[in-house]
Structure 1
């Protein structure tokens, strides 16, 4: 799938980003994909291209653009236990500086940018994210219920959004938690909040997983859980008005698990 390098104007500057899309003269439903804390790198480009191959225009912003363009920091090709301390020592100040106010200013800019693209069909947007990106996806859906019709978070701190934000979401939602991130009791508490908000959702722990299970360039990677992630995400998108894959019809290519 083609990749286009972009710059997105925001209230705080210009965010570098990339978009993966099927190419050609078509118009496609938009998906805003927030990366994990490690940011834009080859594995994120591969994941965006995989999703674009199902008929979507996928925008991936550099959420740390205030600290520099991609790559904001140099990363090892593989992030294991030995590499994590040094990487996190550099990343944590940027993660902590990415306040909710900053995130919401950026979210509006990203959605406006998608609305201006000739390659994008319609005003509705789906939002997905990983790790901190999962929280950003939830906050984007809560702040823009009129525009976000589907939201997904994978190994993200969904509960950190709080009951008030979760209650503002009108999108259909999927939350896939790592087994090391949420206890069964914690999941039950979160799901009671989601039920009280009347949110149309699936919220589940993926058995045997650790935080970061979708990322193939880390020691947290779980290929079975990654496939379940694709099954859940594609089913979520296919179930939304305006998000049915134009190339595949209602259900082809979507494994419902």
Structure 2
């Protein structure tokens, strides 16, 4: 695999982005990998590599670039759970630095950079997001309908809200095929939210599939987290890569 950290000029500064792609063959379709709320780390880089080995050029941007560099985030997942801790305060500060509009704007230079990469295919791209970034992949699919052909979200939060910028309100703008998976046990994404999203998509022409993973918890796909569920994680890989094969090649 070829790997490097790209320094991409974004709307509010330099957005460092981990890039991984196969050494041989090509051209390889582009996949944008939007991080969860813990930020870019080796765990996510390994997941990006797995996508890359399937024949894709993967970009994993540091969406917190407005607040910290890619190697400066390094959040402690356990300390984040401690109420009143400095790490928890820092975590929420970073999370508040991103929103749907900002990530949609950041995606333009990501797509442009991807097109300049040696070995990257010029056709439509795919995207995948987890937790915090579930709302971002949904938003990006709606904002870039001619450039995003497949979007996968896992235990994605914030896709359906009561706010005027709720991603689900732009469902009819989406042309990509969507795959959305949720955990059976998830305090961040209750069943009522999943049900509302299902109703929204069923009333649209968007190609989609929603699944709830029985017995799984929020974060089930992350191999270094206490909530990791190997069976659910492997299912998530199967579904994601099949989605990309159908729509990206």
Is TM-score (shorter-chain normalized) higher than 0.5? Answer: yes
Q: Which position in structure 2 is the counterpart of 1:238?
A: 245
Unaligned runs of 5+ in 1: 245-257
Q: Which moved more, 1:34-43 or 1:214-223?
A: 214-223
Q: Supply the distance in 2 between the matched residues of 1:13 and 1:58 (Cα, whole angstroms).
A: 21
Q: CA deviation at 1:71?
A: 2.5
Match of 1:144 in 2: 144
Cα deviations by residue, 1:137-182 (Å, 9 ceiling, x for unpaired): 1111110001000001011123244432222111000001122334
Query: What is the root-mean-square deviation of aligned Cα atoms in Å?
Result: 1.8
2:23 aligned counterpart, secondary structure: coil
Q: Aligned residue for 2:160?
A: 159
Counterpart of 1:53?
A: 53
SS in 1 for 2:29: strand
Pairs within 5 Å for 1:73-112? 73-76=73-76, 79-80=77-78, 84-85=81-82, 86=85, 87-112=87-112
Report how far residue 73 of structure 1 moved: 2.6
Q: Is the 8 A contact 1:187 1:204 kept in 2?
A: no
Q: 1:55 to 1:89 in 2, by over 3 A?
A: same
**Separation in 2, partners of 1:165, 1:180:** 27
Aligned partners of 1:199, 1:25: CA distance in 2, in Å? Answer: 32
Q: Which moved more, 1:65-74 or 1:44-53?
A: 65-74
Ranges in structure 2 where 5+ consecutive residues have no aligned partner: none
- Checking the alignment, whether the CA contact within 8 Å between 2:41 and 2:74 is kept in structure 1 is no
Q: Distance in 1 between matches of 2:6 and 2:237?
A: 25
- Which has the higher mean CA deviation after the structures are superposed, 20-29 or 219-228? 20-29
Give the Å deviation of 1:83: 5.4
The whole-number CA distance in structure 1 between the counterparts of 2:53 and 2:42 is 17
